[in-house]
Every structure is written in structure tokens, then in C-alpha cells.
Amino acid sequence: MPKTNLKAIDFFCSGGGMTYGMQLAGINVIAGIDNDVAVRSTYEHNNPDSRFILADIFNLEEKDLREKADIKKDDDDLILIGCSPCQYWSIIRTEKTKSEASKNLLKEFHRFVKYYNPGFVVIENVPGLERKAEESGLQDFVDDLKRRGYEISYDVYNLNEYGVPQSRKRFSLIASRVVKEKIEPDISAYRPTVKDVLGVENGFPRVEAGHRDQTDFQHTVAGLSADNLEALRQTPKNGGNTVKKRKSYEGKGFRDSYGRMSWGKPASTITTNFYKISSGRFGHPDEDRAISLREGATLQTFPKDYIFDATSIAGVAKIIGNAVPPEFARRIGQAIMESLKNDEE
């Protein structure tokens, strides 16, 4: 990659998936911002060269960030990244009142983009952000960037086409006022599947439901009730659907609940509840258990030495499920780097 002075601020950084991937591409992420103190240790442990700023964007003034992160206005080398929590705009059936606070996060991020006028802007979010472009603030965001001379590229991407072993669809935007060409991540030459990254041959020993891994590898698995364990035992291996009908879940819950992943296909979208077989197709292809914390992280393309620091299975899974897959982040960073190289030629 070419030498670069590019530096980035990662808004809504959580445990650092975007930061880690961008740094793999050669971009200096000088700071990550999040209002959740529970993600701080994970972020700092794995991204020691980036400063974690604990702040609520609703209360953070634009000028204050200049002091906290040592950045300036109109910097051609500055990238502002906004990967806001997306529950409100997700198609997953959740109680919207619980995620009401996340509704206007893009509009808050927009304040900083207007104030600092960075060379590059990156957004990653759920496809619903685009489907509800007026309500989410995306339309105003894009229109404002265009007025100020940014070249913009955005689309809904299936991340399996970008080296992530999931069928994970995400909205992504890359804008630049420095490079006058559309910037998009390069599609992968192959589409990774579950078998490419999981299984004994990939370093995941067989374990049972309820297994607790006290090492940093975190091959920890949630327990199962006797009823759920029996249902999973009856579910055909390698992609099977549960054979047990449950009246309590009819018409409710998540599609593919209690199903198994298929070795030869990408995984379903890894959510914050991937450790529960009741929340999606999160059953192991062969073993009678849900996938482990480390398996979920691997399907999100985190390296196996990435340490997640939380006090519970649910806490670790939240960090993993909310993350931008580092491999996709790397490809975004790489595309920005390559655009600068091409612009110089």
C-alpha cells in the first residue's frame, strides 16, 4: 500500500471492528468514540494505538473533539467514520421504543462532518437506513455532501462477497472531496463458507452446550435446557431445521430459530444474540449446541487472538454482534488508499 498520512476518527466504535480493519489497511485510527463504558477494555486492548473517548454524541460539542483527538477543520487526510447502532432501522423485529435513542444518531454524526469538513466520510449501517432515507436523515446527509463537493458512492452490500463468511447485508457509504472518483471496496475472489473458518480442522475442538473456556480463546458456549437440547439433537445435521413445533413460538420469534448452520454455505447474519439457538440459525452444523463466542467472532472475521472483555456471555456476544466485520472495514480502508494512489498517477 502507498504511504499515507490518513487518519480517522471512529464514531460509535464499540469493541473496535472498524478501527481494527482500517488499521490493517494502513490507516491510522487516532480515536474511537463510544458512550458504552463496557466496550472500553475490549477496544483499548486490541487497538492500543487508538485512543478510546468515552462520550455521548448527543452531549459532545463539535469543537470539543478538536481537543480530545487533536484534529482540525478542512483536513484532506482526515476520515470521519460513523457506524451508529442500528436497532431502530433494522428489519429484525425488535421493540422500537427501546431503540428510540438510536434513531437520530446519523443526524448527530452529520454535525461533526459539517464542522470538520474532512477529506473522507464513511458510513456503515443496516439497509433500513437507506430505505427510510428521509426519516433517518440519510437524504439530507447525502444532499449536503453533494453541495459541498464530495464524490459519493453508496450501496447495500452482501458482505459474503467481500470476504465475510456470512450472508450479512449492510449499507455502506464512502465519500471524498479529495478524490474525484467513486470509491468502492473490491469484491472478493471467493465467497467463504462456514466450513472455511469453523470446525476442528480450523482450530475449534468439539465441546458441549454449557462449555466454559477460561482462556483468551473464549470457545465458550451457552447452556441449553433439556427440552432445547433434545430439539437440537433431533434437528438434522448440516443445515437442518428443527423438527419440533412449539406452540409458544408459532408466529413469533425469528425465522430459522433452532436451525443448524450449513458447512457449505455462509452463516446467517451474526447478531448480538448469536449464542442462542432460539434467536436464529445459530446451531452448530454437527454438534448439539449453539456456536461459541469465538466461533461467532470468527464468522465476523475477528482474528483468533482478539480478546473480548465482558462479564457475561451476553456482554461478549453484544460486542461481537454489533461490530463491523474487520475484513469489510479493511476493504473499505484499502479502497480509500487505492483511490489516493490512483489519483496521484
Q: Which residues are catalytic?
A: 86
Q: Are 288 and 337 in contact (CB under 8 A)?
A: no
Residue 5 backbone dihedrals phi, psi, to 5 degrees: -105, 15
Whose CA is closest to 268, among 201, 156, 169, 161? 169
Q: Which residue spans within the chain are E strands per DSSP?
A: 7-11, 28-34, 51-54, 78-82, 120-125, 151-158, 169-176
Residue 197 in 3-state DSSP? Answer: helix
Concatenate the DSSP letters of all residues of 243-266 into one string: ----GGGTT-S-TTTTPBP-TTSP
Residue 31 in 3-state DSSP? Answer: strand
Looking up cell 433452532, which residue turns up?
258
Residue 307's alpha-carbon distances to 36, 39, 178, 191, 195, in angstroms, are 17, 11, 36, 26, 23
Instruction: At 94, list the grid cell.
Output: 425488535
Distance CA 279, CA 257 (A): 5
The number of CA neighbours under 13 Å toward the Cβ of 268 is 25
Residues with Cβ within 8 Å of 345's Cβ and at least 6 positions away in sequence, in order, are none
Q: What is the DSSP letter of 267?
A: B
Q: Is 340 exposed, middle or buried (0-12, 13-18, 19+ CB in 10 A)?
A: buried
Residues with Cβ within 8 Å of 197's Cβ and at least 6 positions away in sequence, in order, are 165, 298, 299
